[in-house]
Amino acid sequence: MLKWFVICIVIAIVAGIFGFGGISEAAAGIAKIIFVIFIIGAIITFLLFKKIF
């Protein structure tokens, strides 16, 4: 998940530097969604493993 997040952020930064605003905004939006999914998954995993151990 974090790999895809980093890839989208890099695409957004490069597109922003070269002036492609639409692509930059789309990549940043996708990166935000992926990051939120990762955080939710990490919290759920942490809570599940906390109960097991």
Dump pLDDT digits (tens) for 1-53: 778 888 888 888 888 888 888 888 888 898 899 999 999 999 998 998 877 66
The model's pTM: 0.71
Q: Characterize 6-18 residue by residue with b for buried, 16 or more Cβ atoms within 10 angstroms of its Cβ, and e for exposed.
A: eebbebbeebeee
Distance CA 20, CA 30 (A): 16
The pLDDT value given to residue 50: 79
- The helix (H) or strand (E) run that includes residue 31 is helix 21-52
Give pLDDT, residue 7: 87
